Structure 1
Amino acid sequence: MFVRTLLVLAALAVLFYGGVCLFLYLGQRQQIYHPEMTWRVQQRPDFELVNGGVHLRGWVMNPGHAKALLYFGGNGERIEDSRDDLARWFPDRTIYLLPYRGYAASDGRPGETALVGDATALFDHVAKAHGQVAVIGRSLGTGVAVQLAAKRPVERLALVTPFDSLVRVAAGYFPWLPVNALMRDRYESWRYVNAIHCPVLVIRAEDDEVIPTARTQALIRAFAPPPAEQVIADAGHNTVQDHADYRVSLERFLQ
């Protein structure tokens, strides 16, 4: 009787564990992407890019300059809120802010392959009008920016609160789950860095509560030669942009 009870309990534990794995596998993109935080669009889009039949709508600031800047934000970031700051910080660059699929006024659904494809299409469109195109990626956007810079001749690449692999980040949060087998959108930036041949700046928040320092440092070690690094003291993952050193670091690097 005791053995039978143990077998029943073990079977229930296996079923529960399998159910949790299935739930997380099916709902993983709802955990990675948070477009709902950007749907209240306050600034009317003035730029549209169609890629694969999907309409992406965003903004262009400081039009008419020879150099351009692309910005790819975090997984729940309202990039339209950065319009004024970026335009003021980089007055000599034309700046393109294009929300991801499903974000703000853009159509479609986000996914790693789709986002990288959209970023590449944006770069190709912008490069026709601008001799040099720099890129800033932040948090999730660093995974997009790294793959873009490995595919296209980016002038300069700034990575804000980056990680080496989203799989490894998730494994740190869920060490009891087979994350490596479950994750479809992996953003394994470390695999692409050897194909990047432009100057790179990594900006790290000293008190980053989302991306562990070890994951950022692992990405830095994957580069050869190593990128420039700036640590923003007393900054958190979602507050790094509020510190003057953040602005100054980007201005010096991109100007």
Structure 2
Amino acid sequence: MVQTQHADTKAGSSHFGVERVKNILVGLLLTGAIIYAGIVGYMFLNQQSLLYKPDGELPDPSSVGLADVEMQSVPMTDGTVLTVWAAPAAVPDAPTVLFFHGQSGNLGDRADRLREILNSGYGLLAPSYRGFPGSEGEPSELALISDGVQLFDRLTGKGEAVVLHGQSLGTGIAAAVAAERPEAELLVLEAPFTATVDVAAERYPFLPVSVLMKDQFATRDLIEQIRVPTLIFHGTEDETIPLHHGQALAEMSDIAQLYVIPDGSHNDLWSYGLWDEVQKNLSQN
């Protein structure tokens, strides 16, 4: 009888141990699920601030070596007023470069690029995106593309030929404008992505970014229909948007020329002769 009680005690203890382990595992799973849900919620609620990163104050163009550039206020059709930097072409019949900057900072951070454009005799129109220093409103994919098309029409309405130049995030805007306005002279994509959602998926493979992300800037869905002559520049050492994005876009297009820049990173492609190649292409047209 004593032995039976001892066996029952052991069985009960074993059962208790299994239940305890199960409870611990369930607790861990619930904790993990709560943490994961928190991460997903944070990324969803903060996605705009992760994609658009305005910073600083917009300087006067002359203070960054752009004495010939005028700061203008341009109202969009929805009433939002954008600040743009504008300068006419110094060379007769030279096109105007409609320049779309990257995701962070402000136009002043791109002064070296803009100065090189102007020194070559081309005109310039460079908007500060809505929500960025100097401009009203909040940025979004639809709004930025709409603004880009309106600025393009503003230039062509004055009889100007337009070169669309996008830098990083700006490539998504420039490509979308080119898809809607095939009369553009040239499309320049500097360190482009196939889509912002693709970049996000590579950075956060554990998140369902295709479901969460609102502004996906899917250039890959537009590139085949773009009939504007297109130049794609991408550095082999680009860690922000890897080279395979530019290569993929070039493969999807039957007119795009891909310039792979050895040792080039995300922000230094101009120092490797990007603008020289753009000018050569324009002179051949």
Tell me the percent identity: 28
The answer for the alignment partner of 2:150 in structure 1 is: 121
Q: Is the 8 A contact 1:134 1:254 kept in 2?
A: no
The answer for the alignment partner of 1:254 in structure 2 is: 282
What secondary structure does 1:177 align onto? Answer: coil
What secondary structure does 1:106 align onto? Answer: coil
The answer for the alignment partner of 1:31 in structure 2 is: 50
- 264, 269, 283: which one pairs with 1:235? 264
TM-score, scaled relative to structure 1:
0.92
CA shift, 1:194, in A, is 2.5
The answer for the alignment partner of 1:4 in structure 2 is: 23
In structure 2, distance between residues paired with 1:32 and 1:228: 28
Distance 1:40 1:134, change over 3 A: closer
Letter in 1 for 2:164: V
Q: Is the 8 A contact 2:58 2:106 kept in 1?
A: no
CA shift, 1:233, in A, is 2.5
What secondary structure does 1:103 align onto? Answer: coil
CA shift, 1:77, in A, is 4.8
TM-score, scaled relative to structure 2:
0.83
RMSD: 1.7
Q: Is the 8 A contact 2:229 2:255 kept in 1?
A: no
- 187, 196, 208: which one pairs with 2:238? 208
Letter in 2 for 1:216: G
The answer for the alignment partner of 1:166 in structure 2 is: 196
Q: 128-137 or 163-172: which moved more? A: 128-137
The answer for the alignment partner of 2:7 in structure 1 is: none
What secondary structure does 1:19 align onto? Answer: helix
- 177, 190, 212: which one pairs with 1:148? 177
Q: Is the 8 A contact 1:61 1:95 kept in 2?
A: yes
What secondary structure does 2:85 align onto? Answer: strand
What secondary structure does 2:185 align onto? Answer: coil
How far does the alpha carbon of each residue in 1:141-168 deviate from its partner, in whole angstroms, 9 at most, with x for none? Answer: 0000110000112221011111111111
Larger Rg: 2
- 219, 222, 233: which one pairs with 2:252? 222
Corresponding residue pairs, total: 250
Give the unaligned 5+ runs of structure 1.
none
What secondary structure does 1:47 align onto? Answer: strand
CA shift, 1:174, in A, is 0.7
CA shift, 1:131, in A, is 4.0
CA shift, 1:119, in A, is 0.3
Give the unaligned 5+ runs of structure 2.
1-19, 63-69
